[in-house]
Copies of this chain bind each other. A is one copy, B any other.
Amino acid sequence: MKHYGYEDLAVLVSERGHYSLKKAADVLGIGRDSLIPIKTDNNNRVVVSEMKAKLDELKAKNIKPFAIIGVAGTTETGTIDPLSELADLAHAYGCHFHVDAAWGGATLMSKKYRHLLNGIERADSVTIDAHKQLYVPMGAGMVIFKNPELMTSIEHHAEYILRKGSKDLGSHTLEGSRSGMAMLLYASLNIISRQGYEMLINNSIEKAQYFAGLIEAHPEFELVTHPELCLLTYRYVPARTQQALTLATADERETLLAALDDLTQFIQKRQRESGKSFVSRTRITPERWDRRLTTVFRVVLANPLTTENILQEVLAEQVEIAKQSFISSPQIRTLTNRILTRHNIA
């Protein structure tokens, strides 16, 4: 860095960026701290003005931001950053523009929804995982470069394999020997085809919209993030507790929210163990709860066999499991009652 007259290097990405980016920063030797997280808005999209401000701040410190990463489908909430605006920014500041479309990339197969990824065509490189919405088994990640020559900077050769001119993937990837996963992708693209993927993707997105509606209509649930793709997050909050939260003191609210985190974790673990259905969980910082780290259910609606009926049952099961909690549920109930009683609500 010093050699080129810079104090340091940096990569900018939304605070919802995937954890693997930290691995990449470690591998590049710039360290995790040089992967700079930029604030997201209440829709979990990166705030472009914040990114611009950070770019100016880095410039003032003589730190080179060599790449900007746009996220097209965050892992936790399935949100898509404003890619066109990020492309403008990357162009203006002379940064490599990478789009992490590991999750959302397959949406390009849908004529109906591909517009969600507008701006991705301006990326210098794009990640798409075939093992997500392209329905190929685990371990089929891809990186696509606008200029394939960029890869030569990390090329390796060997005498017994990867000879110059050889097409082995091992010459420009970390892995050497590997299984012929590309065959599965090739087969899927030919068998499922563009139309098939369009159907799968549209179906997933619309099922997520249906599930979001179900959650919003249910008095005992709170939709935490609306689905843009087929991901959403939510949690179970008893109706009376929702009311109590609006009337609670700061201390009471914190106690209630902490107990709700415990309850969400309890329900998620118990539901997974019961073996009938599985939702994952994560922790995010919703605007609504003052960016407090909040445990939520995370649902990915990728299985075409998931019916609306199954989704209704998932919620019903969660309500039942909540009743089995002998620690957080009673704690929530007692505090809820105390707050509502104070406000003369039965």
Contacts and interface: CB of A to CB of B under 8 A. Distances in A.
A159 B281 CA distance: 8
* Copies of this chain present: 2
Contact of A284 (B129, B156, B159): B159
Interface stretch (A175-183, A206-214, A216-224, A338-346): A175-183
Interface string A130-171: 010000011101000000000000101111111000000000
Contacts of A159: 76, 282-284
Contacts of A282: 159-160
A19 B283 contact: no
A195 B298 CA distance: 47
Contacts of A174: 23, 27, 174
Contacts of A283: 159
Interface footprint category on A: 35 or more
Contacts of A179: 137-139, 179
A20 interface: yes
A154 B26 contact: yes
Most buried by B among A28, A280, A282: A282
A176 to B, nearest CB: 5
Most buried by B among A18, A19, A160, A175: A160
Nearest to A131: B177
Contact of A157 (B18, B19, B175): B19
A22 interface: yes
A125 interface: no
Contacts of A264: none
Contacts of A137: 179
Interface in A217-258: none
Contacts of A28: 29
Contacts of A29: 28-29
A44 interface: no
18 contacts: A27-B27, A27-B174, A28-B29, A29-B29, A76-B159, A76-B160, A129-B177, A137-B179, A138-B179, A139-B139, A139-B175, A139-B178, A139-B179, A159-B283, A160-B280, A160-B281, A161-B280, A175-B175
Interface of A: 18-20, 22-23, 26-29, 75-76, 129, 131, 137-139, 141, 154, 156-162, 174-180, 280-284, 298
